[in-house]
Amino acid sequence: MKEQTIETLKKYSQEHLIEYLPYLTEEEQKKLEQQVEAIDFEQLQQLYELAKQEQYMEEKNISHIPYVDKEKLDKQKREELETIGRKIISDGKYAVITMAGGQGTRLGHQGPKGTYCLDTINGPKYLFEITVDTLKRAREEYNVTIPWYIMTSRENHQDTIRFFEEKKYFGYSKSKVKFFTQGELPLISTEGKVILGEDKKIKEAANGNGGIYEAIAISGVLKELQEQQSDWIFINSMDNVLCNFVDPLLLGLTIEQNYKIASKSVAKATPKERAGVFCKMNEKPKVIEYTELPDKMAEERDKNGELVYGELHIMLNLFHCSILEDLANVKLPYHVAFKKSGYLNEKCEYIEPEEPNVYKFEAFIFDAFTRYDDMTILRVKREEEFAPVKNRTGVDSPETATALYNKYYC
């Protein structure tokens, strides 16, 4: 290892890596060295400090955020807004980015989460295929092939592409589908040390769905969107099997309200539902985690009996292309998760821990909302647009998502 690399390791208290060198082949040593050189240890040190601190919300100037309820729009207004949105789509000024870089740990499926298959009334359906079905329906309805970008992680990139090749893109135009990879950050132990995985490399993991803004800039996707004049970009996740991401109403409403960001929401099922809700904090739009929302606020109702903080963020986000460049340069805050991760001990033996042992750092896509004064929020019906696959069993599982899918398509 180069003297300078060793110095870096010492400076950031990572010299334990040197102890592994005798167990590594020359090739592995070289790869490790390259990895060390690419890691921003200064940033990692700051993240470690963050992980050790107790997480609390610095400012709590929270207030209600206005939203539009789709059900309460009269027919004429709805049609008016949809006409505006339809024109954008059929003029080819619309693109979709699907975030598929997550690890899907709760589902525990081998391989990219989008390759998980549900047994539906329309036959076996992979999660990715359900997204393609929506794109194909839009192709028929608007007579355009919407460009589709899929964000992967380094971990699942090759497997994702292989899957699409194998399935022949489920009949969508291959030339309109592009894959790009998001950034990563090292996992660190409770002592602030990076760890080695079975492959003798420093273990890194995708830096959260908030990594999307930087990733679209670095990968050239943003440039392509600008060149092909995709004015509006919908960013969704692939694990909501009722995800309606080609929605002229949302587009029309956002344009009418003259905002550059929009999201769909569903009403909270109960005040205690474990999901983030929209609010305003210091007058800016924000999604606040259920863990951060004081109980009293979670239960608060307005004069119509509606929860004041009752609009769930469901990962259905629309952006005007013009703001994505700005967002690519923004440093979003990182959130810390404590996770289980296998590692090599000092004798280079692989250990699979029973309990969480590492900090993982993730940025969230919705933390970018606070950069803007306002945004459109369209409340939609849960049974029509929200059926996520998150857990292996129980709530938000393949079973519940399939039941909701079947009910909808019936």
Which of residues 255 and 287 has its CB atom nearest to ligand UTP in the complex?
Answer: 287
Round to whole Å and give the CA distance between 227 and 162: 28
| DSSP conformational letter for 392 | S
113 binds ligand UTP (CB under 6 A): yes
Considering only 206, 222, 235, 327, the residue that binds ligand UTP (CB under 6 A) is: 206
9 binds ligand UTP (CB under 6 A): no
Please report how close the Cβ of residue 181 comes to ligand UTP at its closest, in angstroms: 10
237 binds ligand UTP (CB under 6 A): yes
Give the orientation angle of helix 75-90 with respect to helix 127-142, to 10 degrees. Answer: 90
Please report how close the Cβ of residue 211 comes to ligand UTP at its closest, in angstroms: 6
239 binds ligand UTP (CB under 6 A): yes
Q: 245-264 b/e with 16+ CB inside 10 Å = b?
A: bbbbbbbbbbbebebbbbbb
Token readout for 330 is: 């923004």
Contacts to ligand UTP from residues 165-184, by CB under 6 A: 182
Q: Among 161-169, 170-178, 201-209, 243-251, which window interacts with ligand UTP (CB under 6 A)?
A: 201-209
Nearest to 386 by CA among 364, 405, 372: 405
Nearest to 43 by CA among 332, 379, 388: 332
Please report how close the Cβ of residue 209 comes to ligand UTP at its closest, in angstroms: 4
Please report how close the Cβ of residue 109 comes to ligand UTP at its closest, in angstroms: 10
Q: Which residues pair with 275 in a beta bridge?
A: none
- Residues that contact ligand UTP, how many (by CB under 6 A): 21
Please report how close the Cβ of residue 3 comes to ligand UTP at its closest, in angstroms: 35
Tokens 């079973």, located at residue: 399
CA quadruple 107, 120, 209, 366: dihedral positive or negative? negative
Residue with CB nearest ligand UTP? 102
| Sites of contact with ligand UTP (CB under 6 A) | 99-106, 113, 151, 182, 206, 208-209, 211, 237-239, 315, 362, 390
